[in-house]
């Protein structure tokens, strides 16, 4: 049996068992164990253990995952999302579409704080979804704003996904995070412009807040709320990312500092209680364990896959198809969108990186740019009907009056904006590499 057939068979078995409803971590680990045991013999065990101890347990960079998740959970229980939304909506809610722009601004800050798509979508959806509907926003536009804004956590630093991608690609994590700054904020601004222009042309889609409601607070009160609940979290994010970008701290160290400051903010906002704190620890442990157990299973699979020569065989097969450099690029990226609708991003990174990255190097792509583009395409998969993860998060919230049709129609304009952004950053790679080049040369 040729290496190409073995490699394709391993991938096929993973897909079959995954669609049968089995957890991805155990599917990857189980398939790797079975194929390794029967095709590699006794050397399988040493390969498996080396991958786990060196690649996962001995990887200090992965400590940042747990600490950033902890930081995000602390900021969630601090009530920052509620007060942040309240403080910002009084400033720009008086214009057409202003409340929708406020939601997207809150999403940017929450995405940088939380870094997990599911948590961002659910937090923003429960907080702002019913309020947007209450102020007369169209159901489709409301769902599109919440879904698109919640997925910004994938590409706005310090994204947990970007940390894992940079680590697994063997690149400095700081370079990958820096490369995502321009794309992340560019897409966020595109979303805001779309909401403002569309609501400006069609006021009934996103009416402004009534003037009498805004007058309930004086300008001084609104300004103080904005400073306390907007500038402090922004200072935390800028400080954490600045420490990473300028080499003052490694990602785990910066994450530890961020988690400590987030804990102090919980106390400052007088939201600390033991019940919420223990729940925060539990949620952090649960999310971290989920990520790491998938890494262990995926490490087993990729270790055996590469050990059997599967990666090399797939690369040789794809490059022998006669496609151009950009033809291979779009084949890889489109397959990433399709797989991303079904497979969790952690497992997908471990599945695709051993195949895609050697091809990207062979084709001469800049690796920081390529990894950031993979993150952008993965963001598309979270919104892509009918199986995007963000769509299921929204549907699971059971917001009154919202049906699947509202969600699907709502995300389509934002998907088009994402495609526009993808074409821009594909055509002009220097836009992605600008910040890393300025910071690191």
Do the domain assignments include residue 32? no
Count the alpha carbons within 13 Å of 423 in the hemisphere toward its beta carbon: 6
In the chain, the number of structural domains is 1
- pLDDT at residue 375, as a whole number: 92
Tokens 């001084």 — which residue? 220
Q: Which one is predicted more confidently, 121 or 155?
A: 155
Do the domain assignments include residue 12? no
Residue 242 in contact with residue 248, Cβ under 8 Å?
yes
Do the domain assignments include residue 257? yes
Do the domain assignments include residue 195? yes
Count the alpha carbons within 13 Å of 6 in the hemisphere toward its beta carbon: 21
Per-residue confidence at 213, pLDDT binned at 50, 70, 90?
Answer: low
- Alpha carbons 286 and 284: distance in angstroms, whole number: 5
- pLDDT at residue 429, as a whole number: 93
Do the domain assignments include residue 226? yes
- pLDDT at residue 373, as a whole number: 95
- pLDDT at residue 39, as a whole number: 77
Q: Is 170 left (phi over 0), alpha (psi -120 to 50) or beta?
A: left
72-86, 234-248, 371-385, 418-432: which has the highest mean pLDDT? 418-432
Domain extent at residue 219: 61-292+318-440
Report, as an integer, the average pLDDT of 268-284. 85
- Alpha carbons 362 and 359: distance in angstroms, whole number: 5
pLDDT at 143 over 70: yes
Residue 431 in contact with residue 421, Cβ under 8 Å?
no
Pull the structure tokens for residue 230.
Answer: 């907007």
- Per-residue pLDDT of 344-373, as tens digits, reads 777 788 778 888 898 899 889 999 999 999
- Alpha carbons 311 and 3: distance in angstroms, whole number: 9
Report, as an integer, the average pLDDT of 301-310. 75
Weakest mean pLDDT among 51-60, 258-267, 282-291, 399-408: 51-60
pLDDT at 215 over 70: no
- Per-residue pLDDT of 14-55, as tens digits, reads 878 877 777 777 888 888 888 877 877 767 777 677 767 766
- pLDDT at residue 160, as a whole number: 79
Do the domain assignments include residue 424? yes
- pLDDT at residue 432, as a whole number: 93
Name, in order, each residue with C-beta under 8 angstroms of 299's C-beta and a sequence gap of 6 or more: 51, 52, 55, 56, 350
- pLDDT at residue 118, as a whole number: 61
- DSSP state for residue 208 in the 8-state scheme: P
- Alpha carbons 333 and 371: distance in angstroms, whole number: 11
Closest residue by Cα to residue 152 from 412, 399, 424, 383? 383
Do the domain assignments include residue 250? yes
Burial of 321 (0-12, 13-18, 19+ CB in 10 A): exposed
Name, in order, each residue with C-beta under 8 angstroms of 87's C-beta and a sequence gap of 6 or more: 222, 225, 226, 228, 229, 230
pLDDT at 112 over 70: no
- pLDDT at residue 119, as a whole number: 62
Pull the structure tokens for residue 23.
Answer: 């957890």
Do the domain assignments include residue 328? yes
Whole-number average pLDDT of the chain: 81
Q: Which one is predicted more confidently, 322 or 278?
A: 278
Residue 222: CB atoms within 10 A of its CB come to 18
Residue 398: CB atoms within 10 A of its CB come to 7
Closest residue by Cα to residue 156 from 120, 197, 132? 120
């Amino acid at each position: 049996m040729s290496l190409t057939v073995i490699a394709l068979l391993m991938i096929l078995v993973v897909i079959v068992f995954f669609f049968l409803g089995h957890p991805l971590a155990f599917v990857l680990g189980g398939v790797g164990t079975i194929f390794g045991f029967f095709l590699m013999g006794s050397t399988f065990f040493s390969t498996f253990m080396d991958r786990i101890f060196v690649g996962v347990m001995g990887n200090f960079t992965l400590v940042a995952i747990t600490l950033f998740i902890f930081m995000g959970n602390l900021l969630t229980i601090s009530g920052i999302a509620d007060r942040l939304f309240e403080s910002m909506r009084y400033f720009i809610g008086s214009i057409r579409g202003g409340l929708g722009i406020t939601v997207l601004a809150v999403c940017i800050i929450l995405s940088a704080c939380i870094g997990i798509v599911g948590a961002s979508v659910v937090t923003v959806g429960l907080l702002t979804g019913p309020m947007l509907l209450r102020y007369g926003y169209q159901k489709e536009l409301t769902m599109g704003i919440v879904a698109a804004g919640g997925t910004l956590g994938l590409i706005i630093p310090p994204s947990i996904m970007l940390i894992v991608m940079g680590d697994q690609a063997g690149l400095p994590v700081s370079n990958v995070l820096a490369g995502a700054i321009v794309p992340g904020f560019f897409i966020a601004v595109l979303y805001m412009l779309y909401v403002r222009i569309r609501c400006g042309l069609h006021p009934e889609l996103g009416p402004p807040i009534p003037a009498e409601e805004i007058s309930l607070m004086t300008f001084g009160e609104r300004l103080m709320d904005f400073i306390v609940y907007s500038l402090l979290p922004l200072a935390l994010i800028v400080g954490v990312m600045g420490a990473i970008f300028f080499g003052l701290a490694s990602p785990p160290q910066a994450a530890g500092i961020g988690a400590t400051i987030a804990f102090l903010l919980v106390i400052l906002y007088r939201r600390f209680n033991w019940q919420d704190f223990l729940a925060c620890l539990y949620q952090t442990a649960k999310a971290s364990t989920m990520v790491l157990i998938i890494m262990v299973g995926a490490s087993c699979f990729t270790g055996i896959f590469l050990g059997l020569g599967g990666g090399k065989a797939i690369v040789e097969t794809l490059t022998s198809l006669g496609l151009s450099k950009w033809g291979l690029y779009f084949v890889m990226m489109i397959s990433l969108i399709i797989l991303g609708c079904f497979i969790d991003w952690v497992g997908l990174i471990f599945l695709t990186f051993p195949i895609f990255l050697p091809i990207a190097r062979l084709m001469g792509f800049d690796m920081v740019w390529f990894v950031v583009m993979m993150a952008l395409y993965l963001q598309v998969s979270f919104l892509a009907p009918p199986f995007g993860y963000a769509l299921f998060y929204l549907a699971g919230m059971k917001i009154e009056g919202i049906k699947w049709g509202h969600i699907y129609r709502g995300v389509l304009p934002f998907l088009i904006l994402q495609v526009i952004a993808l074409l821009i950053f594909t055509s002009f790679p220097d836009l992605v590499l600008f910040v890393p080049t300025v910071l690191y040369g």
